[in-house]
């Protein structure tokens, strides 16, 4: 499972950063990619990455500001041209359906796959055997959401070395025991698979935020997450400006990660006022509060 940052800028694209889009690749887990936001030129950014449009299964839109949605009609269209046939579901605030349907209708776009659009509220919006996704509303003037992605716990590993020591040969017997079954050995002993299975492996938890000021729902979404992705449009000393424009600072993102007992923070949605050198200062500022902080640049890949 990896995060690929296709765009890490705020508001408008700059020479160093395109506007927001993040791909969560789960090729081993479910042979699919989930996209979070789709700013202008996202499909161009995809061309410089390992992301395949045909593998995109779900798109989660945080809010309807242009730097988060203007790339969506083109990407949906191009997915058809690149052989996309599987169903794609778009989740987003009220109005996302009208935006998509109007764009496709006026441009005469025909999709070769089924497109589902779900306008969401703060609630559990998706769940299957892989895990679940919860959306909660943030504080950004327009309706803006954060998403908590919780992977289901995995069964513990089978202790193969111990089984071999106890006289069990690898093969079909291991499968029976892995499933918790019992096995009668040639010497008359009966062993139970549950005695050879380790503790369940806790599923990974991600929290991916849209644009927001600090609010209570942030803590619920971020609690004990393995990884938080949070906007840091402004440096800490510009707290008043951040609040006025309903955005967050480096310090606020870091304080959230610290207070939520998260393991790691990645800051993104960086204002174009910060060049490469200034961006390094932003991450150092956040690390003074929460050490396990990184800053995302376009095309950065983070393993989860």
DSSP-derived 3-state class of residue 263: coil
Residue 159, marked binder = no
Rounded to the nearest 5 degrees, what angle is found at the Cα of 83, between the Cα atoms of 106 and 48?
90
Residue 63, marked binder = yes
- Of 37, 67, 139, 294, which one is the catalytic site residue? 67
Residue 211, marked binder = yes
294 labelled catalytic: no
Cα of 126 vs its chain's centroid, Å: 14
Query: What backbone torsions phi and psi does residue 134 show, to the nearest 5 degrees?
Result: -115, 135
Residue 48, marked binder = no
Residue 140, marked binder = yes
Nearest to 137 by CA among 152, 125, 151, 150: 125
Nearest to 76 by CA among 47, 102, 54: 54
Residue 269, marked binder = yes
Residue 68, marked binder = yes
Residues 269, 251: Cα–Cα separation, whole Å: 14
Residues 6, 22: Cα–Cα separation, whole Å: 6
Q: Which residues are catalytic?
A: 67
Annotation: binding site for Zn(2+): 63, 65, 67-68, 140, 211, 269
**Binding-site residues:** 63, 65, 67-68, 140, 211, 269
């Amino acid at each position: 499972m990896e995060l690929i940052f296709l765009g890490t800028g705020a508001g408008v694209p700059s020479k160093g950063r395109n506007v927001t889009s993040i791909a969560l690749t789960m090729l081993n887990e479910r042979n699919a990619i989930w996209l979070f936001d789709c700013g202008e030129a996202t499909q161009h950014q995809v061309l410089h990455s390992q992301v395949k449009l045909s593998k995109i299964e779900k798109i989660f839109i945080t809010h309807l500001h242009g730097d988060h949605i203007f790339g969506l009609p083109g990407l949906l269209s191009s997915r058809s041209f690149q052989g996309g046939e599987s169903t794609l579901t778009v989740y987003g605030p009220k109005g996302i359906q009208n935006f998509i349907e109007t764009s496709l209708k006026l441009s005469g776009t025909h999709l070769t796959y089924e497109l589902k659009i779900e306008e969401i509220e703060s609630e559990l919006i998706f769940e299957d055997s892989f895990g679940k996704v919860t959306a909660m509303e943030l504080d950004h003037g327009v309706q803006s959401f954060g998403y908590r992605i919780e992977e289901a716990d995995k069964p513990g590993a089978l202790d193969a070395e111990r089984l071999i020591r106890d006289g069990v040969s690898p093969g079909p017997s291991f499968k029976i025991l892995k499933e918790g079954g019992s096995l009668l050995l040639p010497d008359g002993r009966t062993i139970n698979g549950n005695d050879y299975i380790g503790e369940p492996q806790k599923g990974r938890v991600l929290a991916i935020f849209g644009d927001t000021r600090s609010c209570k729902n942030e803590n619920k979404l971020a609690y004990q997450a393995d990884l938080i992705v949070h906007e840091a449009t402004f440096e800490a000393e510009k707290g008043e400006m951040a609040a006025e424009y309903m955005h967050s600072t480096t310090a606020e993102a870091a304080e959230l990660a610290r207070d939520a007992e998260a393991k790691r923070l990645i800051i993104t949605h960086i204002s174009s006022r910060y060049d490469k050198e200034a961006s390094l200062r932003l991450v150092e500022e956040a690390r003074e509060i929460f050490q396990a902080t990184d800053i995302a640049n376009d095309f950065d890949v983070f393993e989860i």
